[in-house]
Amino acid sequence: MDFTPDDEQQALREAVRGLLATTYADHDARRRTVAEDPGFDEKLWGRLAEMGVLGLPFSEADGGVGAGPVEIGIVCQELGRVLAPEPYLASVVHAGGLVAACGTAEQKADVLGRLSAGDLVLAAADTAPGARWSSANDGVRATVEGDAWTLTGVADPVVGGARADLLVVTAALPDGGTGLFLVSPEAVERTGYVAADLTRAASVRFDASAATPLGEPGRDLSASIATISDLTRIMGANQALGVMQSQVRATTDYLKSRTQFGVTLNTFQALTFRAADMYVSLEMAQSMVDWATMTIAGGDPAVVADAADRVGLTIARTGRHVGQEAIQLHGGIAMTAEYAVGVGAAHVEVLGQWLGNGAHHLSRLADRVGEHEMVDAV
Amino acid sequence: MQLELSPTDAEFRTRMRELFTTKVPQEIRDTVLAGRHLSHDQIVESQRILNAEGLAVPHWPTEWGGQDWTDLQRHLWHEEMQRAGVPLPLAFNASMIGPVIAQFGTQEQKERFLPATANLDIWWSQGFSEPDAGSDLASLRTSAVRDGDDWVVNGQKTWTTLGQYGDWIFTLVRTDPEVKKQAGISMLLIDMTSPGVEVRPIELIDGGHEVNEVWFSDVRVPGDLMVGDPGQGWTIAKFLLGNERVGVAPVGATKRALARLKSEAADLMDDPLVRARVAELENDLLALELTALRVVAHSSDGAPHPASSVLKLRGSELQQAVSELALDLAGPASLAARADDDSPQEGWARRSAPTYLNLRKASIYGGSNEVQRQIISRTILGL
Query: Could you tell me which chain A residue has the CA closest to the CA of B310?
Result: A280
What is the model's pLDDT at position B35?
84
CB atoms within 10 A of CB A372: 12
What are the beta bridge partners of residue B78?
none
Instruction: Give which of A280, A306, A311 to mutate to test B binding, by max B Cβ within 10 Å.
Output: A280
DSSP tag of A120? -
DSSP result, A265-276: GGG-HHHHHHHH
Contact criterion met (CB < 8 Å) for A2 and B291:
no
Is B5–A1 a contact, with Cβ atoms under 8 angstroms apart? yes
Convert the pLDDT of each residue in A67-77 to its tens digit: 999 999 999 99
* pTM beyond cutoff 0.90: yes
* Active-site option among B80, B130, B244, B264: B244
The DSSP code for A68 is: -
pLDDT tens string A251-264: 999 999 999 999 99
Q: Which of B76, B290, B317, B380 would best serve as a mutation to test chain A binding (most A beta carbons within 10 A)?
A: B290
**Separation between Cα atoms, residue A315 and residue A288, nearest integer Å:** 9
How many other CB atoms are found less than 10 A from the CB of residue B365? Answer: 17
Q: What pLDDT score was predicted for residue B298?
A: 66
CB contact under 8 A, A374 and B258: yes
Taking 60 as the threshold, does the pLDDT of residue A363 lie above it? Answer: yes
- Three-state SS for B204? coil
Residue of B nearest to A294 (CA): B3
- Judge whether B211 and B358 are in contact, CB under 8 Å: no
List of chain B residues whose C-beta atoms are within 8 Å of the C-beta of residue A295: 3
Q: How far apart are CA A85 and CA A195, in angstroms?
A: 11
- Residue contact A9–B280, C-beta within 8 A: no
In terms of CA atoms, which chain B residue is nearest residue A308? B283
Report the percentage of chain B scoring pLDDT > 70.
96
CB contact under 8 A, A272 and B263: no
Chain A, chain B: beta-carbon pairs less than 8 Å apart = 148
The minimum CA-CA distance between A363 and chain B, rounded to whole Å, is: 7
Q: Do A276 and B377 touch (CB under 8 A)?
A: yes
CB–CB of B314 and A284 under 8 A? yes
Residue A2: is it exposed, middle or buried by C-beta count within 10 angstroms (0-12/13-18/19+)?
middle
Question: To the nearest 10°, the Cα dihedral for B294, B296, B301, B305?
Answer: 70
Contact between A3 and B293 under an 8 Å Cβ cutoff? The reply is yes
Does the pLDDT at position A169 exceed 70? yes
**Average pLDDT of span A126-135:** 93
Tell me the CA distances in angstroms from B364 to A58, B351, B358, one per residue in order. Answer: 52, 21, 11
Name the residue among B5, B269, B382 with its Cβ closest to that of A378: B5
| Residues across chain B | 383
Answer whether residue A138 shows pLDDT above 90: no
Cα separation, B283 vs A341, in Å, equals 27
- Pick from B89, B83, B58: which is nearest to B73 by CA? B58
Interacting residues of A336 by C-beta distance below 8 A, sequence separation 6+: A342
Write down the pLDDT at residue B244.
57
Residue A61 pLDDT > 70, yes or no? Answer: yes
CA distance B278 to A363: 11
B349–chain A nearest CA distance, Å = 19
- DSSP 8-state class, residue B6: P
Question: Which chain B positions have a beta carbon within 8 Å of A4's beta carbon?
Answer: 1, 297-298
Rounded Cα distance between B190 and B172, Å, is 11
User: Do B90 and B131 meet the contact criterion of CB atoms below 8 Å apart?
Assistant: no
Contacts of B263 in chain A (CB under 8 A): 373
Q: By CB neighbour count within 10 A (0-12 exposed, 13-18 middle, 19+ buried), where does B267 fall?
A: exposed
* Residues in chain B closer than 8 A to A256 (CB atoms): 382-383
Write the residue in B293, B294, B383 that is nearest to A275 by C-beta. B383
Q: For residue range B203-227, what is the model confidence (pLDDT) as tens digits?
A: 999 999 999 999 999 999 999 999 9
Mean pLDDT (whole number) for A272-300 = 97
Cis peptide leading into residue B304 (ω within 30°): no
Q: For residue B134, what pLDDT is reported?
A: 84
Tell me which chain A residue has its CA closest to the CA of residue B378: A272
Partners of A145 in beta bridges: A148
Q: Could you tell me the pLDDT band of residue B241, with boundaries at 50, 70 and 90?
A: confident
Residue A292 C-alpha, separation from nearest chain B C-alpha, in angstroms: 10
* Dihedral Cα B278, B281, B286, B287, nearest 10 deg: 150
Q: How far is B291 from chain A (nearest CA, A)?
A: 5
What pLDDT was estimated at residue B305? 62
Cβ–Cβ under 8 Å, residues B241 and B92: no
pLDDT of residue B299: 52
Q: What is the pLDDT of residue B246?
A: 52
Task: Quote the minimal CA–CA distance from A289 to chain B in Å.
Answer: 9
Q: How far is B335 from chain A (nearest CA, A)?
A: 28
Which burial class, exposed, middle or buried, applies to B294 when counting CB atoms under 10 A from its CB (0-12, 13-18, 19+)?
Answer: buried
B11 as an active site residue: the answer is no
pLDDT band for position A155 (cuts 50, 70, 90):
very high
Q: Which residue has the higher pLDDT, B71 or B257?
A: B257
What average pLDDT does the segment A159-180 reach? Answer: 97
Please count the CA atoms within 13 angstroms of the CA of A72 that sit on its side-chain side.
30
In the predicted model, is pLDDT for residue A194 greater than 70?
Answer: yes
CB A122 within 8 A of CB A234: no
Q: How far apart are CA B106 and CA A247, in angstroms?
A: 51
pLDDT-derived band of residue B367, with 50, 70 and 90 as boundaries?
A: confident
List alpha helices for chain B, DSSP H: 7-23, 26-33, 40-52, 71-84, 91, 98-104, 107-118, 233-245, 251-264, 272-298, 308-330, 347-358, 369-375
User: Cβ contact (<8 Å) for A366 and B275?
Assistant: yes
Each residue of B173-204: pLDDT tens digit? 999 999 999 999 999 999 999 999 999 999 99
Quick: pLDDT tens for B303-341. Answer: 556 678 899 999 999 999 999 999 999 999 999 999 998
Exposure letters B186-198 (e unless 16+ CB within 10 A, then b): bbbbbebeeeebe
Q: Which of B2, B3, B375 to mutate to test the interface with A (most CBs of A within 10 A)?
A: B3
pLDDT digits (tens, 9 = 90+) for B282-297: 999 999 999 998 888 7
**3-state DSSP percent of chain A in helix, strand and coil, to 5:** 55, 15, 25
H or E element that contains A208: strand A200-213
